């Protein structure tokens, strides 16, 4: 016994003395393996391969799984407390356990559990689904490993807003590079697909806009559509991700001004609670998308596009993700105007609900469904929702009702509605069109709408959705503050009030700053587009109303189109791409400018009086 105890102590001493260098080496290798996994995946999906080459690549993927099992075992050994280590890393442990069970069944029992599962689901290509699942699994493991690396970002000496914008732009260019790979697209003869088209499409997906220069249904392969879906998911989380991203910098001495910025982004007075906010947002958004996908799976009508079970599953998932993230990209030929779904009112209703939830904002959703707060509000009826959540709910609901009523009145006798549609069905059609002021789906051809309705849509797109949401525009909170400010001025009141709360003057100043920023940008991009598209305007291929509508849709990250997106020249597409980018991150750029360090002045000049109006 003494000999064994002596050996055990020597082993523990050896492990302890080598712990730092071993774990540091593992972190470096993890980064390299993560990059290798991503590179192999790009090579696998982006280029054509023989059956033998595919089998070799799949074997390499399985080999990388072996590293993650080895890495977890080493870290568990160096924890010196296996029970607590497994408890603290239960999620990673469960993922690796699932992988271990599948590998054991494959190599020892000659039974491929996951492959058989996809086969039982009726997939026409169970091997393809198995490989795709395995690769997504691998990417997630790589993310968990790399996520454990702590980088001292303070050494970069860069404004976190600038760094985030660089990363976001990198995602767009990376997506464009992916969409240029030969296996991502299925171009028809004579197609002139180029990098500008790929960049525009990637920006449209990442900025959750939805404007497309090519038909998503046929031009992109399954792999290309999968890339678009991931770009949509990444883009949908970007605003709140920015707030969390800046909160990370708080460890390194964040300035008071940046503390205020985080409050604005995540709509929280105590930004320390933001540390767990991103995980909540990711889980809740994914759960909503799963519920939406399940509903769409059963409600999508039979059509050639969903003849196979696997196609129906992918269609349901893609449209749920696209709807909740307000992207407006559809896999149906012609989009939701396709006869297979244009008048399927249950599908339109589910997608409308998903769009509405996405436009409400993540923080509002969490505030509404939080069980602890719900119980507290039931016990104490005087306790209300956070004022930001109330503004989001009320303003979005009022804009929807206002839009539907106007739409019905303006289009009732224009022949837009089918003669056999009853009032409820007409209301659903109108509601779906209006609710897409933030998303870009359309069950009717936008180009056929009456001019007054087009003008109405311009206004609604300009307003957009709630703060911290997937929608664009100036945001409903900004519009509400502007409305309250105007009402206060008309009534001659000294202070702006909302829900028995006093609105601080600095909030009103920010609202006017956002309004001015947006108007200046819209004017600038429209002016430049009239130059680049002067030939199309002169020839009649494009009207000025269509051009203005397209720009409003791009900058507000909506995606509705009057059917002229494919007619823009390359310079015009570049301008629209920049417009989408600044529209999605425009508020961040404004914040970045306001967050620069300024000298604090402890004096005040005399008040000035200037004539207005």
- E strands along 324-420, which residues? none
Q: What is the pLDDT of residue 269?
A: 46
Residue where a domain terminates, one of 117, 150, 183: 150
In a domain, 520, yes or no: yes
Residue where a domain terminates, one of 128, 150, 172: 150
Q: What is the pLDDT of residue 5?
A: 66
Q: What is the pLDDT of residue 157?
A: 64
Number of domains, the chain = 2
Element (H, E) at 71: helix 51-79
Q: What is the pLDDT of residue 81?
A: 74
Domain of residue 398 covers: 371-594
In a domain, 18, yes or no: yes
Residue 444 class from Cβ within 10 Å (0-12 exposed, 13-18 middle, 19+ buried)?
middle
How far is Cα 170 from Cα 342, in angstroms, rounded to an integer? 36
How far is Cα 571 from Cα 203, in angstroms, rounded to an integer? 15
Residues of the chain falling short of pLDDT 50: 246-265, 267-272
How far is Cα 504 from Cα 499, in angstroms, rounded to an integer? 13
Q: What is the pLDDT of residue 549?
A: 95
Q: What is the pLDDT of residue 85?
A: 77
Token duo for residue 532: 């680049």
In a domain, 211, yes or no: no
Residue where a domain terminates, one of 150, 167, 199: 150
- Contacts of residue 329, defined as CB under 8 A and 6 or more positions apart, other chains included, come to 204, 205, 210, 212, 216, 228, 232, 322, 440, 559
In a domain, 321, yes or no: no
In a domain, 267, yes or no: no
Q: What is the pLDDT of residue 479?
A: 92
Q: What is the pLDDT of residue 74?
A: 81
Count of other CB atoms within 10 angstroms of residue 442:
24
Q: Model's pTM, two decimal places?
A: 0.83
How far is Cα 153 from Cα 35, in angstroms, rounded to an integer? 20
In a domain, 379, yes or no: yes
Q: What is the pLDDT of residue 590?
A: 57
In a domain, 307, yes or no: no
Q: What is the pLDDT of residue 19?
A: 72
Cα four-point dihedral sign 473, 475, 481, 486? positive
Q: What is the pLDDT of residue 500?
A: 80
How far is Cα 336 from Cα 340, in angstroms, rounded to an integer? 8
- 52 three-class SS: helix
In a domain, 465, yes or no: yes
How far is Cα 330 from Cα 248, in angstroms, rounded to an integer? 36
Q: Which of 434, 583, 565, 570 is nearest to 514 (CA)?
A: 583
């Amino acid at each position: 016994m003494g000999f064994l105890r002596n050996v055990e102590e020597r082993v523990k001493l050896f492990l302890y003395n080598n712990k730092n260098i071993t774990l540091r080496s593992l972190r470096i290798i993890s980064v390299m393996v993560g990059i290798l996994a991503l590179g192999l995946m790009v090579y696998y999906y982006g280029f054509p391969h023989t059956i033998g080459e595919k089998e070799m690549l799949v074997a390499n993927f399985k080999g990388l799984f072996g590293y993650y099992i080895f890495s977890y075992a080493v870290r568990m050994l160096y924890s010196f407390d296996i029970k607590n280590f497994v408890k603290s890393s239960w999620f990673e442990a469960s993922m690796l356990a699932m992988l271990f069970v599948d590998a054991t069944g494959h190599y020892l029992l000659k039974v491929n559990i996951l492959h058989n599962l996809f086969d039982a689901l009726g997939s026409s290509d169970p091997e393809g689904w198995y490989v795709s699942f395995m690769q997504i699994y691998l990417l997630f493991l790589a993310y968990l490993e790399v996520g454990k690396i702590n980088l001292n970002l303070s050494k970069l000496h860069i404004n976190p807003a600038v760094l985030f914008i660089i990363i976001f732009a990198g995602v767009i260019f990376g997506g464009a590079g992916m969409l240029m790979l030969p296996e991502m697209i299925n171009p028809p003869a004579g197609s002139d697909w180029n990098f500008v088209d790929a960049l525009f499409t990637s920006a449209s997906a990442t900025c959750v806009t939805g404007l497309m220069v090519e038909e998503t249904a046929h031009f992109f392969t399954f792999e290309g559509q999968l890339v678009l879906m991931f770009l949509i998911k990444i883009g949908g989380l970007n605003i709140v991700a920015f707030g969390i991203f800046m909160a990370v910098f708080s460890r390194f001495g964040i300035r008071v001004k940046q503390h205020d910025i985080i409050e604005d982004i995540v709509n929280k007075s105590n930004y320390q609670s933001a540390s767990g906010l991103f995980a909540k947002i990711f889980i809740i958004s994914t759960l909503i998308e799963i519920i939406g996908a399940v509903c769409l799976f059963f409600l999508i009508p039979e059509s050639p596009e969903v003849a196979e079970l696997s196609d129906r599953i992918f269609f349901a998932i893609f449209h749920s993700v696209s709807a909740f993230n307000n992207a407006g990209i559809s896999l149906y030929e012609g989009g939701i105007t396709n006869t297979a779904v244009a008048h399927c009112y249950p599908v339109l209703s589910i997608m409308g609900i998903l769009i509405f939830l996405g436009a409400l904002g993540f923080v509002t959703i969490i505030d509404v469904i939080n069980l602890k707060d719900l119980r507290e509000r039931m016990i104490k009826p005087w306790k209300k929702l956070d004022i930001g959540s109330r503004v989001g709910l009320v303003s979005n609901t009022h804009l929807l009702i206002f839009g539907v009523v106007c739409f019905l009145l303006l289009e009732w006798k224009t022949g837009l509605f089918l003669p056999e549609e009853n009032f409820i069905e007409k209301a659903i059609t109108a509601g779906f069109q209006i609710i897409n002021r933030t998303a870009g789906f359309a069950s009717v051809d936008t180009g056929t709408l009456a001019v007054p309705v087009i003008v109405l849509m311009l206004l609604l797109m300009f307003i957009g959705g709630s703060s911290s949401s997937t929608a664009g525009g100036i945001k409903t909170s900004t519009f509400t503050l502007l409305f309250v400010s105007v009402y206060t001025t008309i009534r001659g009141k000294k202070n702006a009030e909302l829900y028995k709360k006093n609105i601080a003057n600095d909030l009103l100043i920010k609202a006017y700053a956002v309004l001015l920023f947006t108007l200046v940008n819209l004017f600038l991009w429209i002016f430049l587009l009239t130059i680049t598209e002067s030939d199309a305007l002169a020839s009649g291929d494009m009207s000025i109303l269509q051009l203005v509508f397209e720009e409003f849709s791009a900058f507000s990250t909506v995606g509705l189109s009057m059917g002229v997106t494919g007619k823009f020249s390359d310079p015009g597409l570049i301008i629209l791409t920049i417009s989408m980018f600044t529209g999605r991150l425009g508020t961040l750029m404004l914040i970045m400018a306001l967050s620069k360090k300024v000298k604090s002045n402890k004096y005040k000049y005399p008040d000035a009086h200037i004539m207005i109006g």
